[in-house]
Amino acid sequence: MAPIKIPTFTLARTGDKIPAVGFGSGTKHRIRKQSTPGLGMQVRDDEITNVIVSAIDSGFSHLDTAESYLTRIEVGDAVEKSGIDRSKLWITDKWDQGWVLGGQTYPSHSPSGPYESLKEGLKLLKTDHVELFLIHGPFFTKETSNITIEEAWKQMEQLVDEKLTRNIGVSNFDIEWLEKILKVCKYKPQVNQIEYHLYLQQEPVVEFCRKHEILIEGYSPLTPIRPEKFSKDVNPLKPVVEELSKKYNVDPSLLLLRWVYQSGVLPITTSSNPERQRNTFKFFDFKIDPEDFDRLKSVGQSVHFRGNLAEQLEKNKN
C-alpha cells in the first residue's frame, strides 16, 4: 500500500513541517498505564505498544506522548516494532511539571526541570532527539517541581541548543502564562497544545497564539460525540452533526476532526480500533462549506464544556 500523504502545518521558527493530525498515547492509555498494578515508567505494556504499532501501520506519522503518561517506553517499542524509518516520524513528548488534581498533589517525575525529563525520555523512546518537547501544564508550585516557569523555559532552550529537541512549546497555557515566557525567551514557543473542540473553542488564547505564530494543537477533538465524556442533557450539536454527516457522507468523528483542522488547529486524537485509525485520514478528503462551518461554530458556542483540568483552568472564566 502506498504511504498515506498527510498534510502538514509549518512551524514558524524552524520551518519544520508537522503532520496535521497526531496520535495520542495519553488519556485512556495513560489511565491504563497508571492504574494497572505492576506497570510503570520503565515497565512496558505490550497491549499499548500494539495499539501504537497499529496506528503507525494505519498511517499515523505523528505520535504524542508525555512523561506523565508513562507511555514513552511503549512509543519507543512501537517505533522499533513497526520497522518505520525514524526520519519519517514526528514525536512529541512533554515534561511532567507536577499536578494538583482533586485536592491531591502529584509531584513532578523530574522536579529539577525539563532538561532532566527529556534526557530520561530519550532513553525510553530509544531515539537521540524528539521533534517537539512541551511543558505539559502551567502548574508551578513548591510541592510539584519548585522551579519557576522562567527557569523551566531556559532549560527548554538548552534542550534546543543541544539538539535534543528540534522544537519547544507548551500545553494548557493561557495568555498570562504565555506572556511570562514571551518576556524572557530566546526562542518563542512554537506550539500550545490545548483542549479544543466545538464546545471549547478558546477564542482568546487561539487568537493570541495566531498573533504570535504559535501553532495550536487541539486535544480531545471528539468530545461532542463521546457520551461517556460529554454527558450533559443538552447537546445541541447532536442533530446538526447527524444532518451534516449525512450531507458530507462521513462518520460524525470525521466532521468534528475536519472542523478543528479547517479552523487552523492541529487535532490530536486517539483510537485503539484499527478501522477507526485507518479512517481518520479521510477528514483531509473533504471540505465543510463555509455556511456549515459557521453553523457548527455557532451551535457549538451555545455550550461551554471542558473535559480535562476544568478545576484548574476554569478559574475566572464564565
List contacts with ligand ISN (CB under 6 A).
26-27, 30, 66, 308-309
Q: Quick one: cell of 164?
A: 535534543
Does 268 bind ligand NDP (CB under 6 A)? Our answer is yes
Q: Quick one: cell of 204?
A: 482568546
Question: Helix H segments across the chain?
Answer: 27-35, 46-58, 72-82, 114-125, 149-161, 175-184, 203-211, 237-248, 252-262, 274-279, 290-300, 310-313
Q: Which residue is nearest to ligand ISN (CB)?
A: 26
Q: What does 276 interact with, of ligand ISN, ligand NDP, none (CB < 5 to 8 A by kind)?
A: ligand NDP
Catalytic residue (choose from 69, 115, 199, 219): 69
Question: For residues 221-250, which are near ligand NDP according to CB under 6 A?
Answer: 221-223, 225-226
Does 60 bind ligand NDP (CB under 6 A)? Our answer is no
Contacts with ligand NDP, 155-194, as mask; x by CB under 6 A: ----------------xx--------------------x-
Q: Which residues contact 32 (CB under 8 A, 6 or more apart)?
A: 39, 45, 47, 48
Q: Closest separation between CB of residue 244 and ligand ISN, Å?
A: 28
Contact 42, 124 (CB under 8 A): yes
Q: Is beta strand 104-106 parallel, antiparallel or unpaired with respect to 99-101?
A: antiparallel
Q: Closest separation between CB of residue 172 and ligand ISN, Å?
A: 7
Q: Which is nearer to ligand ISN, 66 or 296 (CB)?
A: 66
β strands within 97-197, DSSP E = 99-101, 104-106, 130-135, 165-171, 191-195
Q: Which of 89, 90, 86, 45 is nearest to 69 (CA)?
A: 45
136 is in an annotated binding site: yes
Q: Which is nearer to ligand ISN, 146 or 308 (CB)?
A: 308
Q: Is beta strand 191-195 parallel, antiparallel or unpaired with respect to 8-10?
A: unpaired
Enumerate helices (H) and strands (E) in the chain, giving the number of each: 12, 12
- Looking up cell 486524537, which residue turns up? 269
Q: Which is nearer to ligand NDP, 126 or 276 (CB)?
A: 276
Does 276 bind ligand NDP (CB under 6 A)? Our answer is yes
> Which region, judged by CB under 6 A, interacts with ligand NDP, from 5-13, 20-28, 106-114, 241-249?
20-28
> Which region, judged by CB under 6 A, interacts with ligand NDP, from 6-14, 26-34, 155-163, 240-248?
26-34
CA 195 to chain centre: 8
Residue 93's H or E segment, with its range, is strand 90-95
Q: Which residues contact 242 (CB under 8 A, 6 or more apart)?
A: 252
Q: Is 115 a catalytic residue?
A: no
Q: Closest separation between CB of residue 309 and ligand ISN, Å?
A: 5
> Which region, judged by CB under 6 A, interacts with ligand NDP, from 18-26, 95-103, 204-212, 234-242?
18-26
Burial of 246 (0-12, 13-18, 19+ CB in 10 A): exposed
Binding site for ligand NDP (CB under 6 A): 24-28, 64, 171-172, 193, 219-223, 225-226, 251, 253, 268-273, 276, 308
- Residues annotated within the binding site for substrate are 136
- The set of catalytic residues is 69
